[in-house]
């Protein structure tokens, strides 16, 4: 007589969907299933946590968090295909970046990949794309990027632009290509600028100001051997990046008469338009305290700041 076959049966009352797990097998909660992508999504907050812990003297805890961030930043793209990005850049930019990469013994694609990873971790924030009006010799620069990374960067770029309230045309939208150029700029400290034509002054900014103010600014610029147009270029760039915020402008009382003269500075019309948009952007207006700024007002504040001009020369009626 053979041994009867026995079938394992679940105990009465136990739902069919319940299955006995092998001993020692732990059930992972959704929070425990966090992978590199989730860690990168929390990267900016985690970087803030590292700084906070260091400031509090908790170096061991800060190092532990940093170790997790380093793990998240380690490329895990071995199973991913690659895509070649064709970047249109000035020849001078390409040559300088390649020279620095060769000096360091690193490949441009590896450097770009590392810096894009850093962006996903919140290590740096991109600047708003600008319309390039300057002419010059341009060249195509090919960078190989893992497809998985590229997809994440593309999504993160759109999300960041939306958070900043940037409403850009398709040609000006923040995307993976523009972020890759910015990544190379940051990695090697080279600005993507057409040599000698980075500030194509194709228009004029007309300002009516007190004569003493104009004379003081022009004298200070001559003393410093500075060019007012380039002073304005740098100030506009700092304003657009959020590095510098001009103070709230002052307005003359109604009916107040004041003699003024015309002051003219050469500007780049595309950058001026960006300053105009940023000066009226609702989010930035709220962040700076509720006041709007025009390109002219930003320029006047920049000149006072650059050449240490007393405020009363611009606002003599304010005392």
- Better-scored residue on pLDDT, 23 or 285: 285
**How far apart are the C-alpha atoms of 200 and 194, rounded to whole Å?**
10
Check residue 131 and give its pLDDT: 54
pLDDT at 106 over 70: yes
Cα-to-chain-centroid distance, residue 202: 26
DSSP class of 29: P
Distinct helix (H) and strand (E) counts, the chain: 13, 4
Please tell me the pTM assigned to this model.
0.42
pLDDT at 285 over 90: yes
Q: Give residue-wise pLDDT tens across range 135-186.
A: 456 678 899 989 888 899 999 998 988 888 886 656 567 889 889 999 998 8
- CA dist list (Å): 266 to 125, 206, 207, 229, 258: 30, 9, 11, 5, 25
Q: Give residue-wise pLDDT tens across range 57-104.
A: 888 887 777 766 665 555 544 445 888 888 878 888 888 899 889 988
DSSP class of 33: G
Angle subtended at Cα 39 by Cα 185 and Cα 69, rounded to the nearest 5 degrees: 65
Q: Give the torsion sign (CA, 104, 110, 114, 120).
A: positive
**How far apart are the C-alpha atoms of 136 and 193, rounded to whole Å?**
10
Q: At what angle do helices 147-164 and 176-188 cross, to 10 degrees?
A: 90
Q: How confident is the model at residue 134 (pLDDT cuts 50, 70, 90)?
A: very low
pLDDT at 21 over 60: no
Check residue 79 and give its pLDDT: 44
Burial (CB count <10 Å: 0-12, 13-18, 19+), residue 73? middle
């Amino acid at each position: 007589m053979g041994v009867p076959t026995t079938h394992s049966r679940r105990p009465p009352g136990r739902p069919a969907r319940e299955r006995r797990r092998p001993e020692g097998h732990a059930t992972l909660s959704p929070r425990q299933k966090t992978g590199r992508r989730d860690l990168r999504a929390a990267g900016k907050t985690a970087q803030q946590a590292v700084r906070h812990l260091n400031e509090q003297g908790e170096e061991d805890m800060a190092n532990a968090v940093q170790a997790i961030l380093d793990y998240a930043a380690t490329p895990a793209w071995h199973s991913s295909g690659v895509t070649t990005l064709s970047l249109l850049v000035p020849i001078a930019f390409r040559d300088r970046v390649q020279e620095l990469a060769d000096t360091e013994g690193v490949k441009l694609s590896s450097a770009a990949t590392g810096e894009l990873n850093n962006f996903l971790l919140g290590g740096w924030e991109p600047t708003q794309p600008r319309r390039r009006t300057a002419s010059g010799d341009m060249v195509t620069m090919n960078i190989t990027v893992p497809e998985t990374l590229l997809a994440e960067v593309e999504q993160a770029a759109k999300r960041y632009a939306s958070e900043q309230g940037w409403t850009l045309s398709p040609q000006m939208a923040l995307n993976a290509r523009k972020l890759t150029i910015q990544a190379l700029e940051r990695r090697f400290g080279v600005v993507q600028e057409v040599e000698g034509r980075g500030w194509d002054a194709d228009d004029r900014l007309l300002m009516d100001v007190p004569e003493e103010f104009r004379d003081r600014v022009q004298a200070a610029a001559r003393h410093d051997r500075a060019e007012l147009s380039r002073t304005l270029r740098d100030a506009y760039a700092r304003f657009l990046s959020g590095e510098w915020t001009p103070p709230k402008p002052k307005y003359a009382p109604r009916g107040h008469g004041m003699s003024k003269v015309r002051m003219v500075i050469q500007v780049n019309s595309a950058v001026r338009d960006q300053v105009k948009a940023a000066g009226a952007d609702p989010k930035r207006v709220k962040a700076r305290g509720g006041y709007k700024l025009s390109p002219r007002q930003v320029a006047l504040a920049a000149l006072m700041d650059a050449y240490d001009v007393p405020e009363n020369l611009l606002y003599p009626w304010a005392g």
